[in-house]
Amino acid sequence: MGALRFLLIIFAVWLGCGPAMAERRVALVIGNSAYKSVARLTNPANDATLVGGMFKKAGFDAVDIKLDLNAAEMRRALRDFSDKTRDAGVAVIYYAGHGIELDGTNYLIPTDATLERDSDVLDETIALDRALFAVEPAKQLRLIILDACRDNPFAKTMKRTIASRAIGRGLAKIEPTSPNTMIAFAAKAGSTASDGDSRNSPFAAALVERLPTPGLDLGKAFRFVRDDVLKNTGNKQEPYVYGSLGGDDVALVAAKPVVTAPQGPQANPQDGIRRDYELALQTGNRDGWEAFLQAYPDGFYAGLARAQLKNVAAEEARAAAAAKARQAEDEKARLAAERANKAEQDKAAAAAKAAESARLAAEKAQQIEEAKAAAAELRRKDAEAAVAKAQADKQAAEKALADKIANDKAAAELAAKQAAEKAQREGEQKVAAVTPTQTPPSLSPQETAKLVQSELRRVGCLTGAADSDWNAAAQRSLTLFNKHAGMKLDTKLASFDALDAIKSKQGRVCPLVCDHGFRADGDACVKIACRAGYRVNDDNECEKVQDKKPVATREDAKPRDDQRKKVEGTPPKPQATGQLICNSAGCRPVKPGCRVVPYQQFKHGVVSTGQPQEECN
C-alpha cells in the first residue's frame, strides 16, 4: 500500500508539471564568421552548427541554424523567430560572432558592418534588445546565450565623433526586466572570451556537454558550464549569467520518466523501494522526496532520501539568499542614484553586505549538502552493485556447473576424433617437409632474375634497367630491400621467394635518393629552381650568392706586362698566325713539311713563352 500511495503522489506531481513540459520549444542559432571588413573568425560557424545540433537532439520542436548573416538577414531571422515564439513555452537564441558595447548598450555585429565611426553602430548593428523582444512571447523560459565577447577589432579603428563616448571591452552588464528570462555571456561583463585552440570554443563545448542533461536545472547547468570553462582556460575566462528564474527547477530537457512493466510479487522487497527512490531522484524536487519519505519513513533508502531533501533545501536557501542579495544591491544602487542621505545609504550598504554574506554562506551550505547527497548516491550505487554482483556470481556458478557437465559429456565423444585429426596433421607435415621447393619449369633463371628486378624497380630499390643478368647492382638492390623491409632474403640469387616477398609490398619500400640539385617529389626527382641571385648549396638548399672580390691571375697581368715593356722599348712578343712564322725580324711563310711550335723555358719554376720556333720533319 505504501508503494501504491507513493506512486499516486508522484503521478499527481507529474500531472502538475505536465502542461509546462508539453509546451513547444523553439531555438534560433546564429553564427557569424565571414566578416567582410575585419579578419574572419574561426569558430562561430562551427559553434553554431554544434549548438544547433544539440538543440535538435534534445527534441526541440523547431531549430533554425543561420550562418554568416548580414544586417538585413539578421533582422529578418529575428522577425520570423518572433512568430514562432508566440505559442512556445521555451524560446532560446544562441549567437556566436562579434559584439560591441556603446554607452552601456550591447549590439550584435552582422557580417557586412564596417563601423568606421561610432555613430555607425546605431545603423549597421542589431541591438541586443531586439533579440529580447523576439523571445518575449515565450511563456515558460526566455533564454539568450551570447558567445560574442571576443576582442573587438572594430573598436581599434573606429573614429569617435565624441571623445567622451564609452566603447567598452567585451559586453556590458545587463539585467532583464521580464520574468523567467536569462542572458548567458561567454565571459563576464567587461572581459573578453577565447576561441580556443580546437574546432569549437571552450564555451560552446561546455554548453553542449551540460545543457542537454535531462532534468538538470538551468541555473545549475550554467554553473557547471562556468566551472568547465574556467578549468579549460586556466581561470582566464569566466562565463556569467544575468537574470533569474523562479523557485521551481527549469530544465532545458525534461527528465524522462522510467516506465516499468507490471511484474508479479517481488522476491526482494527492496527492489520496489529502489525503483521508487530512482523515480523520486528523477523528479529532483521537494515534493518528490517528501512523498518518498511519507511512503518509506525508515530504512536505508529513507536516509538517502533525507540527504537529497537537504540538498534541495540548501539549493532553495541559496536561491532565496541570492535573490535577497540582488534586491539589497538594487536598493543600494537606487538610493545612490536618488542621492539619498548618507544614513540611508549606509544602512542600504550594510544590508547589501549582510545579504551578500548570507548568499555566500547559503551557497557554501548548498555545496556541502550537494557533496553529501552525491556521497549518499555513491553509497547507494555501491550497495546495489554489491547485491547485483552477488546475484551475478551465483548465476555464473550455476552456469559454470551446467557447462562442466555438458563439457564432460562431450569430451569422451570428441577424444577419438581429435586423435585421428592429430595423426592426419602430423602425416601432412611430414609430407610437406620432404617436398622440396622447386622453380617452375616454365621460367628460366634469367627470366626469374628479370621479374625480380622489375619488382625491385617498382618498390624503388633498383634504379637501373631490368635485365636477365643478376649482377652486383641487382644484388645491392635486393640488400637494400632487405634493409628497409626488415627481411633476410638471399641476395646471391633471384628466387621465387624473393619475388613473392617483393610483390607483397604495395607501395615504395626504399626511399627515393636524388642527385645534387634535385629533390624528391613523390616517386620522381625534380630539379630545384632557385630565384634570381640564389644558388643551390651543398645541402640542396637555395642560398644567396655572395659577391666575391676579383683575384688577379697571370692572364690578367699579361696585358699590364706588355704595356710596361712597350713603354720601356721592348718589342711585343711575336705570335704565330696560320702558315706564317713571325719574330722580331718580321714574318715569313712556314717551310713545307714544317710546323710552328711555341718556345717555352722554365725560369725560377715559372713557365715563360719566348719566340715561336719552326719544327721540320
Task: Classify each residue of 13-27 as buried b or exposed e, where b means 16 or more C-beta atoms within 10 Å of its C-beta.
Answer: beeebeeeeebbbbb
Q: Which of 366, 388, 410 is the last residue of a domain?
A: 388
Q: Is residue 580 part of a domain?
A: yes
Are residues 230 and 85 part of one domain?
A: yes
- Cα distances (Å, whole numbers) of residue 69 to 36, 109, 112, 143, 363: 11, 9, 8, 21, 41
Look-up of cell digits 527512490 = 277
Are residues 301 and 375 part of one domain?
A: yes
Q: Is residue 556 part of a domain?
A: no
Question: Would you state the pLDDT for residue 264?
Answer: 47
Look-up of cell digits 535577497 = 324
113 pLDDT tier (thresholds 50, 70, 90) = very high
Q: Is residue 486 part of a domain?
A: yes
Average of per-residue pLDDT across 584-612: 65
Question: Would you state the pLDDT for residue 559?
Answer: 61
Question: Would you state the pLDDT for residue 258?
Answer: 57
Are residues 78 and 162 part of one domain?
A: yes
Report the distance separating Cα 153 and Cα 38, nearest Å: 7
Are residues 197 and 69 part of one domain?
A: yes
Average of per-residue pLDDT across 127-147: 92
Q: Is 18's pLDDT higher than 60?
A: no
Residue 17 per-residue DSSP state: H
**What length is written for the chain?**
617
Question: Mean pLDDT of all residues in the chain?
Answer: 80
Of residues 291, 314, 311, 319, the one with CA closest to residue 377? 311
Are residues 194 and 118 part of one domain?
A: yes
Are residues 295 and 236 part of one domain?
A: no
Of residues 115, 93, 96, the one with CA closest to residue 31? 96
Average of per-residue pLDDT across 161-188: 80
> Could you list the residue range(s) of the whole structural domain that residue 143 is in?
24-244
Question: Would you state the pLDDT for residue 261?
Answer: 47
Question: Would you state the pLDDT for residue 169?
Answer: 65
Report the distance separating Cα 98 and Cα 196, nearest Å: 15
Question: Would you state the pLDDT for residue 50?
Answer: 93
Report the distance separating Cα 207 and Cα 212, nearest Å: 8
Question: Would you state the pLDDT for residue 124?
Answer: 92
Report the distance separating Cα 405 and Cα 403, nearest Å: 5
Q: Where are the beta strands (DSSP E) in 447-545?
A: 518-521, 524-527, 534-536, 542-544
Q: Is residue 15 part of a domain?
A: no
Query: Are the C-beta atoms of 245 and 238 separated by less than 8 Å?
Result: no
CATH number of the domain within which 48 lies = 3.40.50.1460
Q: Is residue 403 part of a domain?
A: no
Q: Is residue 189 part of a domain?
A: yes
**Range of lowest pLDDT (84-98, 232-246, 507-521):** 507-521
Residue 318: all three cell numbers together: 541559496
Look-up of cell digits 711555341 = 598
Question: Would you state the pLDDT for residue 558?
Answer: 59
Q: What are phi and psi of 494, to 5 degrees?
A: -90, 110
Are residues 567 and 539 part of one domain?
A: no
Report the distance separating Cα 233 and Cα 192, nearest Å: 12
Q: What are phi and psi of 212, to 5 degrees?
A: -80, 10
Query: Are the C-beta atoms of 176 and 243 separated by less than 8 Å?
Result: yes
The residue type found at 406 is A
Q: Is residue 540 part of a domain?
A: yes
Q: C-alpha 99: how far from its chain's center?
A: 25
Are residues 235 and 120 part of one domain?
A: yes
* 112 vs 581 pLDDT, higher one: 112
Q: Is 75's pLDDT higher than 90?
A: yes
Query: Are the C-beta atoms of 428 and 479 separated by less than 8 Å?
Result: no
191-241 pLDDT, tens digit each: 777 777 778 889 999 999 999 988 888 888 999 999 999 998 888 888 989
Question: Would you state the pLDDT for residue 162?
Answer: 77
Q: How many domains does the chain have?
A: 5
Name the pairing type of β-strands 62-67 and 24-31: parallel
What contacts 540, CB < 8 A, 6 or more positions away? 516, 517, 518, 519, 528
* 441 vs 482 pLDDT, higher one: 482
pTM above 0.85, yes or no: no
Measured CA angle at 498 (ends 495, 502), to 5 deg: 145
Are residues 290 and 239 part of one domain?
A: no
Report the distance separating Cα 278 and Cα 275, nearest Å: 5
330 pLDDT tier (thresholds 50, 70, 90) = confident
The residue type found at 493 is L
Average of per-residue pLDDT across 431-455: 68
Residue 533 per-residue DSSP state: T
Task: Classify each residue of 167-178 as buried b or exposed e, where b means 16 or more C-beta atoms within 10 Å of its C-beta.
Answer: ebebbbbbebee
Average of per-residue pLDDT across 111-134: 91
Q: Count CA atoms within 13 Å of residue 170 on its CB side.
A: 20
Measured CA angle at 191 (ends 133, 167), to 5 deg: 70
438 pLDDT tier (thresholds 50, 70, 90) = very low
Question: Would you state the pLDDT for residue 96?
Answer: 93
Residue 472: all three cell numbers together: 652486383
Question: Would you state the pLDDT for residue 457?
Answer: 86
- Cα distances (Å, whole numbers) of residue 68 to 71, 148, 438, 510: 10, 14, 71, 49
Question: Would you state the pLDDT for residue 135?
Answer: 93
Query: Are the C-beta atoms of 184 and 131 separated by less than 8 Å?
Result: no
Residue 514: all three cell numbers together: 636524388
What contacts 35, CB < 8 A, 6 or more positions away? 41, 98, 109, 111, 113
Are residues 568 and 540 part of one domain?
A: no
Q: Is 598's pLDDT higher than 80?
A: no
Query: Are the C-beta atoms of 236 and 192 separated by less than 8 Å?
Result: no
Measured CA angle at 323 (ends 322, 324), to 5 deg: 90
Are residues 232 and 189 part of one domain?
A: yes
Look-up of cell digits 501504491 = 4
565-596 pLDDT, tens digit each: 555 555 544 444 456 777 666 777 877 878 77
Are residues 60 and 195 part of one domain?
A: yes
Q: Is residue 249 part of a domain?
A: no
Average of per-residue pLDDT across 1-20: 49
Q: Where are the beta strands (DSSP E) in 498-610?
A: 518-521, 524-527, 534-536, 542-544, 580-583, 586-589, 594-597, 600-603, 606-609
421 pLDDT tier (thresholds 50, 70, 90) = confident
